Amino acid sequence: MKIKSAEFVMSNSDVEKCPKSRLPEYAFIGRSNVGKSSLINMLTGRKSLAKTSGRPGKTQLINHFLINKNWHLVDLPGYGYARVSKSSKKTFQKFITQYFALREQLVSAFVLVDIRHNPQPIDLEFMQWLGENGIPFSIIFTKADKLKPKAIENHIEAYKNVLLETWEDMPNYFVTSSSKTIGKDEVLEYIDSLNANMDWTAL
Ligand code: GDP
Instruction: Encode pLDDT of 17-58 as tens digits.
Output: 999 999 999 999 999 899 999 999 999 999 888 876 554 444
Q: How confident is the model at residue 60 (pLDDT cuts 50, 70, 90)?
A: confident
Check whether domain 6-198 has CATH 3.40.50.300, yes or no: yes
Ligand 1 nearest-atom number relative to CA 52: 8
Q: How many residues does the chain have?
A: 203
Q: How confident is the model at residue 180 (pLDDT cuts 50, 70, 90)?
A: very high
User: For residue 28, which amino acid is it?
Assistant: F
Q: Is the pTM of this model over 0.85?
A: yes
So where are the chain's domains?
Answer: 6-198
- What is the pLDDT at residue 13? 85
Q: Exposed, middle or buried, 82 (CB in 10 Å: 0-12/13-18/19+)?
A: exposed
Ligand 1: distance of its center to the CA of 103 in Å? 28
What's the pLDDT tens digit per position in 94-146?
788 899 999 999 999 999 999 999 999 999 999 999 999 999 999 999 999 99
- What is the pLDDT at residue 57? 46
128-143 burial code (b ≥16 CB/10 A, e <16)? eebeeeebebbbbbbb
What is the percentage of the chain residues whose pLDDT exceeds 90?
74
Q: How confident is the model at residue 83 (pLDDT cuts 50, 70, 90)?
A: low
Give yes or no for residue 84 having a pLDDT over 60.
Answer: no
Ligand 1: distance of its center to the CA of 51 in Å? 11
Give yes or no for residue 171 having a pLDDT over 80.
Answer: yes
> Which long-range CB contacts under 8 A does 182-190 form with residues at least 24 apart?
182/144, 182/145, 183/140, 183/144, 184/42, 184/43, 187/43, 187/110, 187/140, 188/1, 188/3, 188/43, 189/1, 190/138
Give SS3 for 27.
strand
What's the pLDDT tens digit per position in 134-162?
999 999 999 999 999 999 999 999 999 99
Q: Do the Cβ atoms of 95 and 14 come closer than 8 Å?
A: yes
CA 24 to chain centre: 15
53-62, 137-146, 169-178, 187-196: the lowest-pLDDT one: 53-62
Pairwise CA distance, residues 179 & 189, whole Å: 20
Q: Half-sphere exposure of 96 toward its Cβ, with a 13 Å CA cutoff?
A: 21
Pairwise CA distance, residues 146 & 134, whole Å: 33
Atom 24 in ligand 1: residue holding the nearest Cα = 143
- What is the pLDDT at residue 85? 64
Ligand 1: distance of its center to the CA of 115 in Å? 12
Report the pocket of ligand 1 as residue ranges, CB < 6 Å.
32-38, 52-53, 56, 78, 142-143, 145-146, 177-179
- What is the pLDDT at residue 199? 64
Ligand 1: distance of its center to the CA of 18 in Å? 27
- What is the pLDDT at residue 51? 76
Strands 62-67 and 137-142: unpaired
Tell me the average pLDDT across 82-92.
63
Residue 19 is classified by DSSP as -
